[in-house]
């Protein structure tokens, strides 16, 4: 199965106070570099969504995570990938066992970590229609509309960096 990895990186980092994707981890590498490295073993290729030099949000900027996901889905669909595995730029780890729990015939997200998900590429035109309507722009709202799955990950502690002090705790 051909899987595209997508790092959703178009957020404003308002709680962090600066570009958190560029924030340095204790080992001197950026958060986004860690996100890429953690996703790469599970996918054929990785794209960055919502940042300069990456895939622009679709259909326009400032659509939130769904704009980045839509860009990744269209890229996957056009390039023969069956689906997209997503993570946020602030998620420096992607446990290997999540792949088996997520990938399937329906979209899925990790409960409590909605940017970590699996999205069949065939959803690209469906997401276009969703974004054209007046509705929830949240990942959870979209997941509900397409009858996606929530994947429970008991005992899994995934770091999510929203503030500078979160980075210090890792």
Q: Which of 160, 132, 163 has its CA nearest to residue 145?
A: 132
Rounded Cα distance, 38 and 107, in Å: 21
133 labelled ligand-binding: no
10 labelled ligand-binding: yes
CA angle in degrees (0–180, nearest 5) for 102-109-72? 90
User: Please, are residues 91 and 158 in contact by the beta-carbon 8 Å criterion?
Assistant: yes
57 labelled ligand-binding: no
Q: In this structure, what is the dihedral angle of CA atoms 78, 7, 139, 69, given to the nearest 10 degrees?
A: -20
Binding-site residues, in ranges, read 8-10, 62, 90
Binding-site residues for Mg(2+), in ranges, read 90
Binding-site residues for GTP, in ranges, read 8-10, 62, 90
């Amino acid at each position: 199965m051909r899987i595209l990895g997508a790092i959703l990186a178009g957020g404003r980092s308002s709680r962090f106070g600066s570009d958190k994707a560029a924030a340095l981890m204790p080992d001197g590498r950026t958060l986004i570099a860690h996100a890429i490295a953690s996703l790469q073993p599970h996918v054929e290729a990785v794209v960055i969504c919502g940042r300069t030099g990456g895939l622009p949000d679709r259909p326009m900027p400032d659509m939130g995570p769904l704009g980045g996901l839509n860009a990744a889905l269209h890229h996957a669909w056009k390039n023969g990938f069956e689906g997209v595995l997503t993570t946020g730029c602030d998620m420096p780890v992607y446990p290997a066992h999540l792949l088996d729990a997520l990938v399937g015939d329906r979209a899925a997200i990790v409960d409590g970590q909605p940017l970590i998900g699996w999205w069949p590429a065939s959803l690209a035109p469906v997401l276009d229609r969703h974004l054209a309507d007046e509705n929830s722009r949240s990942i959870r709202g979209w997941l509900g509309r397409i009858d996606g799955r929530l994947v429970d990950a008991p005992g899994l502690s995934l770091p999510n960096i929203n503030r500078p002090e979160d980075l210090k705790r890792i």
